[in-house]
């Protein structure tokens, strides 16, 4: 649709009323006009009358077409999401089944859990609709100094630079989220960031943190980040939360 047509549809009420007024004015003028000008004024009155009647019909038809197009786009998006979810979650469900039956002494369990982690990280970057996305998994390390150690990442071709160490503001915030089993969502790190965050050092602008825990054990955190402010949304955090829960189920052996 052209810019003029779009403008006409948005302003059709004003234009239609103006055309109706113009048709009335030219109709009144035609009664006092003679000769060739009579036919000119009469033609103008007819054009304005047709516009005042036809424009609302055109606007309604255009709106109906747009609604139909929007429904088609929504349906295509829904079908595409189903395909993507099925493609990324089916292998994970299969791996979880194998993990539950795996023997710990043969090294098979470690191999399957590593595969499950890779699937979760790749699925997070594929399901989140944003450019330059990266997913990271930080494993919880106990001992005298609790910390979270990066053991895998997928997406943007650079490893995570965040360090989570107990006793630092950033590390304490991460462990608080794990202890409380809560998500951390920071859509714009320039406006709202976790304690101890250094923007220039971490080089990304949107972050979500999801704990990977069960009722009895804490495995670590799953993060998703993007280079643009506002790139991540609430529904992205919900998807990553689901993946974190599935990963926790796979590691819970």
Query: Tens digits of per-residue pLDDT, 34-91?
Result: 666 665 655 666 665 666 556 666 666 666 666 555 566 555 555 555 555 666 677 7
Is the pTM here over 0.85, yes or no?
Answer: no
Give the range among 68-82, 145-159, 232-246 with minimum mean pLDDT.
Answer: 68-82
Task: Please tell me the predicted confidence (pLDDT) of residue 4.
Answer: 47
- Range of lowest pLDDT (127-131, 196-200, 208-212): 196-200
Between residues 137 and 1, which one has the greater pLDDT?
137
Q: What percent of the chain has pLDDT over 70?
A: 63
* pLDDT score of 161: 72
- Compute the distance between CA of residue 119 and CA of residue 92 in angstroms, rounded to an integer: 6
Q: What is the pLDDT of residue 156?
A: 82
């Amino acid at each position: 649709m052209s810019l003029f047509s779009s403008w006409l549809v948005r302003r059709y009420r004003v234009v239609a009323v103006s055309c109706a007024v113009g048709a009335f004015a030219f109709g009144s003028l035609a009664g006092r006009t003679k000769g060739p000008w009579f036919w000119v004024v009469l033609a103008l009155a007819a054009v304005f009358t047709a516009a005042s009647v036809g424009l609302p019909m055109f606007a309604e038809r255009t709106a109906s077409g747009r609604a139909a197009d929007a429904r088609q786009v929504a349906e295509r998006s829904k079908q595409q999401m189903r395909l993507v979810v099925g493609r990324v979650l089916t292998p994970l469900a299969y791996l979880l089944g194998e993990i539950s039956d795996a023997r710990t002494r043969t090294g098979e369990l470690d191999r399957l859990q590593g595969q499950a982690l890779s699937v979760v990280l790749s699925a997070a970057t594929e399901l989140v609709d944003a450019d330059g996305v990266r997913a990271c998994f930080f494993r919880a390390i106990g001992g005298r100094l609790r910390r979270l150690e990066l053991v895998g990442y997928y997406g943007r071709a650079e490893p995570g630079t965040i360090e989570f160490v107990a006793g630092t503001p950033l590390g304490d915030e991460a462990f608080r989220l794990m202890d409380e089993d809560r998500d951390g969502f920071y859509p714009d790190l320039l406006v709202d960031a976790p304690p101890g965050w250094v923007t220039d050092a971490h080089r990304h602008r949107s972050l979500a943190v999801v704990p990977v825990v069960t009722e009895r054990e804490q495995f670590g955190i799953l993060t998703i980040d993007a280079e643009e402010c506002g790139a991540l949304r609430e529904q992205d955090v919900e998807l990553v939360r689901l993946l974190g829960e599935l990963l926790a189920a796979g590691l819970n052996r």
